[in-house]
Amino acid sequence: MLGIELLGLWYDEELKPEENPVEDRNNWYKIGVEPRRVEELKSHIQQTASVFGQKCLYFERAGEAEFL
């Protein structure tokens, strides 16, 4: 597993234009999982977003991104 702390910017459609972009410190992790466990990982990511009060978390697999 590889972990990196980054400063990120994101846009929230629920905010006024002048309140965007939102600055946020992020932790980026790259991990390997068996293909049969990808859905389990996605479920865990969604639960984690909820626990931390996040609207979503960024998930990238093989170059394709999703917000979970």
- 50-63, pLDDT tens digit by residue? 898 888 888 888 88
Residue 47 burial by CB count (10 A; 0-12/13-18/19+): exposed, middle or buried? exposed
User: How does pLDDT run across 1-34, given as a tens digit for each residue?
Assistant: 677 788 888 889 999 999 999 998 888 888 889 9
Supply the pLDDT for residue 39. Answer: 94
Query: In the prediction, which pLDDT does 7 show?
Result: 87
Question: Could you tell me where the DSSP H helices lie in 1-68?
Answer: 38-51
